[in-house]
Amino acid sequence: MTKALAPPDLGALNYQHLRYFWTVAHHGSIAAAVPLLGVSQPTVTEQLHALEIALGAPLFVRRGRNRALTEHGHLVLRYADEIFTLGKELLTASRSNVEGRPLRLTIGVADSLPKLTAWRLIEPAFALGPLWRVTVRNDKIERLIHDLAADTLDLVIADSPMPAGTRVRAYSHLLGESAITVFAAPALADRLTAGFPRSLSGAPMLMPGDGSLLRRHVTQWCTDNGIEPDVVAEVDDMAMLQLLGHDGLGVFCAPSVVEAEVKRTFDVQIIGRLRGVRERFYALSAERRLRHPAVIAIADAARRRLAATRRSTRAK
């Protein structure tokens, strides 16, 4: 049971102090929060103490170098999450009423996600209308999550949920899943299609780089099915890999959600699909429940597209 510091005085609540608390709570320590807040460590400590006095109860207990929330701290954090979410909504709604001033939507795309797939998932953002100005950033998932917590991104699109053990408070929203399709240039496809999947043993294959989840899925599928392709190249950039496939240097894989675009763009044919393998796609957000209207539009459209692709590939 926590010991009350003093009767709470609601008139003394300082929302700047509340933001300092919110940032420390989500990052686990004052030291981690200081770079984001742009103030000194003593200042944060002092203002946290002032907030505890205003609210009438301790908010943190020390655990080594970190700070853990008290029971009362968890209660305050739930309210703070709602307060700052509503604050963002207020800014969005207010700016939309300022004539000629664009609303901003900043999307982070994990660099492990194939660019063509990422484009199909975020495409609805560019149909929001002239009031919206969309910015897309491509980076390592760790940096994108940090920026999401720092409130400089509205959304992150990734091929995996929040990494286990991440100290940042953010949430994974499953958008859907897609089968994986195997492609090749026409001459190579004609030779391999009839005997698929056994025909892939010994066939030249272009593999994504080691950091790709798609690479792990394809490698595991080959192992499980006793397929031993001849890996002729490992390429981090999926666009480059697909260009090599266009030139007939090997077969390659891509999510089925972009089958039509891959065939048309790179003039390749479908050999088959990896049975039992699914790529999942996620929207990562600082919100437990999506509220940003543009983010909701992207998530809903992506879910519909992935669901339609899944029904289509099952029917083939």
User: Cα separations (Å) of 58 from 40, 49, 145?
Assistant: 21, 8, 29
- The topology under which CATH files domain 10-92 is Arc Repressor Mutant, subunit A (1.10.10)
Provide the residue-wise pLDDT of the chain in tens; the chain has 316 residues.
445 555 545 455 788 888 898 888 888 888 888 888 888 889 988 989 888 888 888 998 888 778 889 999 888 888 888 787 777 766 665 655 555 556 778 899 998 888 888 888 888 888 877 777 888 999 988 889 888 888 888 899 998 888 777 777 778 888 889 999 999 999 999 999 999 999 999 999 999 988 788 999 999 999 999 999 999 999 988 889 999 999 999 999 999 999 999 999 999 999 999 988 999 999 998 877 777 777 888 888 888 888 887 776 665 5
Residue whose structure tokens are 């897609």: 178
Cite the residue boundaries of each domain of the chain with CATH code 3.40.190.10. 102-177+280-315, 180-277
In this structure, which topology does domain 180-277 adopt according to CATH? D-Maltodextrin-Binding Protein; domain 2 (3.40.190)
Is the entire prediction scored with pTM above 0.75?
no
Check if the beta carbon of residue 39 is closer than 8 Å to that of residue 28. no
Q: Was domain 102-177+280-315 assigned CATH 3.40.50.1370? A: no
Q: Where in the chain is the domain with CATH 1.10.10.10?
A: 10-92
User: Please, what's the b/e burial string for 100-124 (b: 16 or more CB within 10 A of its CB; e: otherwise)?
Assistant: eeebebbbbbbbbbbebbbebbbeb
